Structure 1
Amino acid sequence: MTPIQFADQLYEKGITLNKEQLEQFAAYYRILVEWNEKMNLTAITAVEEVYLKHFYDSITAALYADFSRPARICDVGAGAGFPSIPLKICFPELQVTIVDSLKKRIGFLNHLSMELGLSGVAFYHDRAENFGKKADFREKFDIVTARAVARMSVLSELCLPLCKKGGIFIAMKGAQANEELQEGKTAIEVCGGEIQDVHHFHLPNENSERSIMLIEKKRKTPKKYPRKAGTPNKDPIV
């Protein structure tokens, strides 16, 4: 997907990018590749693949949930900024918080946001298990996102505590979504969530399968969750 095809595909989906936004994506790509030479951010570096598999793929969340209002978003384990930074470029009114466990990635994201001229973004070097216990962040976000971070039985415990009651947790997955969802149903319920919808689609050009799960936060998460760092992955709620 070339940058022109990227803009055209989004336009067809009702998302129009102006010149400044297109320049921000071009700078994002340039900075990503530059920093990737000194630290491991992504195995995907070809321009057409980055625009398809990182930029466009991240923005597909906006095809199934409303990002047009000035919502507070927390992106858990965003890595090189996906999906929240592409979403922030498309919808500048979003207030974005990213938490990631690797300090080097937070350094990259701080540099990236300055170079792109982004405001209303904050980056935290922390484990999601610890972050979700902090009063300033627990149950404070309208939308919580996670893309390719962990299986749903683990991810629900990390993300739902950050989501406010009435908010939405968006899990971006590949082809194994239904299987993961079955395994994660107990964790979703225990942490106060309820499955709202699951959308399956294919990326343009290469036709690879993607899934977006929308989990509504119905009840407050019990105080014991998330458990201490490492426990959700070693002993998931089942």
Structure 2
Amino acid sequence: MTLTFEEILAARGAEAGLSFTPRQLEQFGKYYALLVETNKVMNLTAITEPEEVAVKHMIDSLLAWEAGMEGKLLADVGTGAGFPGVPLKIYCPNLKVVLIDSLGKRLKFLQQVIGALELKDICCEHLRAEDAGRNPKHREKYDFVTARAVARLSVLSEYCLPLVKKGGQFIALKGSKYADEIAEGSEAVKILGGKIISAEPVKLPGLDDGRAIIKISKIKTTPAQYPRKAGTPEKQPLGSR
């Protein structure tokens, strides 16, 4: 018997310690259907099988959730097809979310998702991360900033930490080389006003591929010269020799 996407997500979620309401499962199901349909004409994801999307996209995104997110403001940088921002919004309905991406086509897809899932207090911003960080509307305005598979930590910190308010948190969802990224990026984190508070390995149901979640607290205001202009962080990562 073939399980539906919602049934797979519920079962795998339970293995990861997550439980969903019927409404949340319905929303995740619609999200999956839109993702697969749109992926036929636009490259949103390399994986489309229900099991893989449930675990590697939805549950992976939700491992960034923490109890203090209720009612707070979160920016998801380089959101792509909406991960982790949209799953976090579905799971925590009173979280306020801003999805930031440099590609208008992807944001058009996400607007469709927001409408179909009837999500409130979530919007899209068509911006490069470096430009967002210099924009008074976004600079140091967010309680939480998330990013998943966007760039290595030395570069990613310059994209994300300028958006985090003092006392807020930057959450980076990382792969198996996270320890190397921390060693390489810790100086950049410090320069930008952050402090690494934890780097926890996380295990996805049925997978053992060495993922981790790095949490960085914003302890000081980011110096005014950061982020540097678009393209510079990637070419000349902060703290690199």
Q: Give the TM-score normalised by the residue count of structure 1.
A: 0.95
**Is the aligned partner of 1:178 residue 2:179?**
yes
Question: Does the aligned pair in 1 maintain the 2:78–2:150 contact within 8 Å?
Answer: yes
Q: Percent identity between the aligned chains?
A: 48
Counterpart in the other structure of 1:192:
193
Change (3 A) 1:3 1:67: farther
Specify the SS of the correspondent of 2:238.
Answer: coil
CA RMSD of aligned residues (A): 1.4
| 2:181 maps to 1:168 | no
Q: Which residue of 1 aligns with 2:126?
A: 125
| Alignment match, 1:6 | 9
Residue 26 (structure 1) aligns with: 29
Distance between the aligned counterparts of 1:9 and 1:112, measured in 2?
A: 23
Distance (whole Å) between structure 2 residues aligned to residue 180 and residue 17 of structure 1? 33
Whole-Å separation in 1 of the counterparts to 2:205 and 2:18: 16
1:159 is aligned to 160
Question: Which position in structure 1 is the counterpart of 2:90?
Answer: 89
Bigger Cα displacement from structure 2, 223-232 vs 10-19: 10-19
SS at match of 2:222: coil
- Say if 1:102 and 1:211 are closer, same or farther in 2 by CA, change over 3 A: same
- State the match for 2:46 in structure 1: 43
Distance in 2 separating the partners of 1:11 and 1:206: 15
CA distance in structure 2 between the partners assigned to 1:228 and 1:7 by the alignment: 43
Q: 1:67–1:190: structure 2 CA closer, same or farther, 3 Å change rule?
A: same
Deviation at 1:66, TM superposition (A): 2.6
Q: Which runs of 5+ in 1 are unaligned?
A: none
Count the aligned residue pairs. 236
Whether the aligned pair in 2 keeps the contact of 1:203 and 1:209 (CA below 8 Å) is: no
Amino acid at match of 1:41: L
Q: d(CA) in 2 for partners of 1:225 and 1:237?
A: 10
| Shift, 1:139, TM fit | 0.4
Deviation at 1:38, TM superposition (A): 0.8
Over 3 Å counting, the alpha-carbon distance change for 1:162 and 1:68 in structure 2 is: closer
Partner of 2:101: 100
Unaligned runs of 5+ in 2: none
The runs of at least 4 aligned residues of structure 1 exceeding 3 Å deviation read 8-15
How many angstroms apart in 2 are the aligned matches of 1:14 and 1:37? 32
The alpha carbon displacement at 1:122 in A equals 1.0
User: Which stretch shows the higher mean deviation, 8-17 or 114-123?
Assistant: 8-17
The equivalent of 1:220 in structure 2 is: 221
Report the 3-state secondary structure (helix = DSSP H, G, I; strand = E; otherwise coil) of the residue aligned with 1:61.
Answer: coil
Q: Who is 1:60 aligned against?
A: 63
Q: Kindly tell me: are residues 125 and 33 of structure 1, through their superposed partners in 2, closer, same or farther at Cα, counting changes over 3 Å? A: same
SS in 2 for 1:167: strand
Distance 2:160 2:186 in 1: 14
Give the superposition deviation at 1:136.
1.1
Deviations for 1:26-61, whole angstroms, at most 9, x for unmatched residues?
Answer: 100000011001111000011111001000110011
TM-score normalised by length of structure 2: 0.94
- Aligned partners of 2:226 and 2:122: how far apart in 1? 26
Report the counterpart of residue 80 of structure 1 in structure 2. Answer: 81
Task: Report deviation, 1:68.
Answer: 4.5
Q: Counterparts of 2:68 and 2:37 in 1: how far apart (Å)?
A: 29
Residues in 1 aligned to 2:139 and 2:84: alpha-carbon distance in whole angstroms: 21
In 2, distance between residues paired with 1:237 and 1:99?
Answer: 22
